[in-house]
Amino acid sequence: MKHYQTSRLNEAIDVSIPFHQSDTLNFMGDQVTDFDPQSRSGRIKWLRSTRKPRLAFNQYDFFIEPTQSWEFPVEYPESPEMPFDISFVTPRTARIRIQTRRKVAKEQPSLMISKEISEDTTWTSATKTDNGYVWESQFGKVELGLHPFHLTFKDANGKVLTQTWHHQDTFSLQNMYPVPFSFARSIQDMSHKIAATFSLSPGEKIYGTGESFTGLNKRGQRIDLWTRDSLSVQTDDMYKPIPFFLSSRQYGMFIHSTAPITLDIGKEYDAANTIYMDDDSMDLFFFFGDPKEVLSEYTALTGKSPVPPLWSFGLWMSRITYDSEAQTREVAQKLQEHQIPCDVIHLDTGWFEEDWRCDYEFSHTRFDNPRKMIEDLRKQGLRVSLWQIPYFTPTNRYFQELIDKGLVVTDPDGNLPTEDAILDFSNPETVAWYQEKIAELLKMGVSAIKADFGEGAPIFGRFHSGQSGRLEHNLYPLRYNKAVADVTERVNGESIIWARSAWAGSQRYPIHWGGDTENTDSAMLACLRAALSIGLSGFTYWSHDIGGFVKESPEALYRRWMPFGMLTSHSRCHGAPPKEPWAYSASFMDDFRAAAEMKYKLMPYIYTQAYLSSQAGHPLLRAMFLEFPEDPTCWMIEDQYFFGSDILVAPLFEETDRRIVYLPQGQWVDYQTGAVYEGQQWLTIQAGQIPIVMLVRAGASIPHVEAALTTDHIDWDKVSITAYTSEGITDGQGKFYHPLHQKWVEVN
């Protein structure tokens, strides 16, 4: 059993800790032996080292020093030589695999990889250099140094993008900074952990790592990639950590592992990016290209997001919680009575007999005829979504059944590792049992399942896969997402979920939302940072709780938040009641309706951009630099974004009617007023009647349609094109991707 230095259950794991302890044995990546340039495989010699304390002028520090083995019998290698290899997946993707110990466990198929990986033949054969070999494609170069071991990645013009950092490379007086490319062996459990250290250049910026709520540029941060119920959107915990990042220097990396990972991105040592892995092997994919090219490469490997059904792009109305048929029908009636466009009513934790006790059955006392209710709502164009979780408390009627059938996670002794029975999705029998329950709900007419939680698989658990929680904890959300999406597609013919937790590959199963948001201005901004970060991690679609989740939404905040929420791919009002617009002032309801109608009018644009984004593996909510990578200012901005390729959005994050906005090169047309602005400058721009700033690229043609109460009622024969020019807004011509016919349609 592995030893972890955490203070509470499911605390994020800082994998860097052992590399800074004096009782850990370190092995430095020193030199390459037995290298075959044809197969691109060989062995790395790892130099045995230790941390030696030194007192100097009233201060203790530790230095890395080579050491001799004192192990018995003496046949244990002093400086082991272990295999590694280099391969090429595409002209833009290289793969580096390194082992630090002999493999005994059978390698399992990866759920993160969506396709069979084949060898790309466009890279040149190995060219000998003074100290190793170099391989080239039309997009980049990989150089291998043998003595000492070194990897350098260059662009096609020879510019160094990044390179590994070794104990010979240090310029610091204290040679443990940065931690060199090495592995650590624990004296507590003999486990190996890897530190893969790469250089960071002056001014280099790093983005991605999942749905991170902290600063968009991750340089200067230490990030633990460990799925955890954040209970907030203003901490460094993540519901959706993703072991992927991209750089402003035109490259990206994917760490192909489900083990705990800590990224130290220039925090401990400014010029170094260290990937700490709680794993005895490293499988690293390196991507060459600009941000859009890197995202396309990464999602070609791990899967692209399919376009969800059209109705999912409409408004979802929810709260904690609608708990009766009468209440649900009343909400549906008032939505139409007040002419509020909406497509989904979500029932959260209260549709069971006991709130939160998930048994997959509607309450018999509060829902007279749920099947008929769902049918009636469907006739109005409204779908129903249901909440559930994969955890079963002792009072749940399925608790003992799941234990008796062996469908739950256990501890090493075969007992429950926590108070709950936790579904073991690595067991095909568990998946079948679970999907049978979900299928019955879908057959009743339910359109979507909310896959809540999933971040709490115990690290000391034992799973049917044969793996411990060390490898299954982060993988659990991906298994969970897949189980829900697969059964929904099988029964309804539509692949859609509403999930909180995720891991690499989960983008194949949209949609994901941003968790439990505070009702504050700063939380609203944190939601945008999270949206941009997960979009830069391969996820095309994303949502969040409009107005905040935790408490009743202040009207002024909710008013400003609503248009921001409408200008995300998926829009849901959810959280502590009330969330319904008629519970607020008459003017608020007018503004709420206007924001919702704006989204429905933009539905041809949204669906077209969704189709294009899914094809490319790009997000619908885009960081500014995705559209303007040559503009250095765009790399610094985290409070405005592109919605698709042509609409720049700047929400109001404080109680005001205007804000400072950065306009990139070109001309920009105010979506609401038609005012034209010159680009490459900061301007204070007043929001329109809808409290948000929206600007369209001059020259863009945006398809619109008349607003309808649901997407079912949209008349797709009446799509029109609006041209945004240097003179303002006029009628235009263009095309859009038709959601019903699934083809491009010209509009003149």
657 is known as an active-site residue: no
pLDDT grade for 70, boundaries at 50, 70 and 90: confident
Do residues 346 and 270 both lie within one domain? no
Active-site hit among 14, 143, 348, 455: 455
What is the per-residue burial (b if ≥16 Cβ within 10 Å, else e) of 408-436?
Answer: bbbeeeeebbbebbbbbbbbeebbebbbe
492-504: average pLDDT: 98
Compute the distance between CA of residue 91 and CA of residue 94 in angstroms, rounded to an integer. 8
Do residues 478 and 366 both lie within one domain? yes
| pLDDT more than 70, % of the chain | 99
pLDDT grade for 708, boundaries at 50, 70 and 90: very high
pLDDT, tens digit, 9 for 90 and up, residues 178-209? 999 999 998 888 999 999 999 999 999 999 99
Compute the distance between CA of residue 166 and CA of residue 144 in angstroms, rounded to an integer. 13
Q: How far is CA 741 from CA 620, 677, 738, in A?
A: 22, 37, 6
Do residues 173 and 288 both lie within one domain? yes
Compute the distance between CA of residue 26 and CA of residue 114 in angstroms, rounded to an integer. 35
Domain CATH for 685:
2.60.40.1180
Do residues 526 and 653 both lie within one domain? no
pLDDT, tens digit, 9 for 90 and up, residues 633-664? 999 999 999 999 999 999 999 999 999 999 99
Length of the chain: 748
According to DSSP, residue 203 is labeled T
The structure tokens listed for 734 are 């263009």
Do residues 515 and 580 both lie within one domain? yes
Which residue type does 257 have?
Answer: S
Residue 714 CA, chain-centre distance (Å), reads 32
Last residue in a domain, options 557, 591, 611: 611
571-582: average pLDDT: 98
> Do the domain assignments include residue 634?
yes
- pLDDT recorded at residue 565: 99
- pLDDT recorded at residue 446: 99
237 pLDDT exceeds 80?
yes
> Do the domain assignments include residue 220?
no
Do residues 601 and 656 both lie within one domain? no
| pLDDT more than 90, % of the chain | 92
5 pLDDT exceeds 70?
no
Check: CB of residue 560 under 8 Å from CB of residue 586: no
- pLDDT recorded at residue 62: 86
Check: CB of residue 315 under 8 Å from CB of residue 595: no
Mean pLDDT of the chain: 97
Could you tell me which of 609, 611, 612, 638 has the C-alpha nearest to residue 623? 638
Could you tell me which of 312, 306, 294, 307 has the C-alpha nearest to residue 537? 294
> Do the domain assignments include residue 63?
no
Domain CATH for 187:
2.60.40.1760
Do residues 340 and 319 both lie within one domain? yes
Compute the distance between CA of residue 50 and CA of residue 65 in angstroms, rounded to an integer. 6
> Do the domain assignments include residue 216?
no
Could you tell me which of 393, 477, 485, 498 has the C-alpha nearest to residue 438? 485
> Do the domain assignments include residue 1?
no
Do residues 550 and 677 both lie within one domain? no
Do residues 573 and 698 both lie within one domain? no
- For 355, residues 6+ apart whose C-beta sits below 8 A from its C-beta are 321, 323, 349
23 pLDDT exceeds 70?
yes
Could you tell me which of 648, 629, 651 has the C-alpha nearest to residue 639? 651
Domain CATH for 568:
3.20.20.80
Compute the distance between CA of residue 238 and CA of residue 241 in angstroms, rounded to an integer. 6
Do residues 285 and 324 both lie within one domain? no
Give the range of the structural domain holding residue 583, as residue numbers without chain letter: 315-611
Return the CA Rg of the chain: 27
Last residue in a domain, options 611, 637, 657: 611
Last residue in a domain, options 611, 635, 660: 611
> Do the domain assignments include residue 244?
no
pLDDT grade for 2, boundaries at 50, 70 and 90: low
> Do the domain assignments include residue 540?
yes
pLDDT, tens digit, 9 for 90 and up, residues 307-338? 999 999 999 999 999 999 999 999 999 999 99
- pLDDT recorded at residue 283: 98
158-177: average pLDDT: 88
Do residues 641 and 607 both lie within one domain? no
Do residues 562 and 624 both lie within one domain? no
> Do the domain assignments include residue 326?
yes
The structural domain count of the chain equals 3
For 186-235, where are the E strands, in sequence order? 192-199, 206-210, 221-225
455 is known as an active-site residue: yes
Active-site hit among 30, 516, 518, 638: 516
Complete DSSP assignment for 544-582: -EET-SSSPPPHHHHHHHHHHHHTSSSEEE-SSSP-SGG
452 is known as an active-site residue: yes
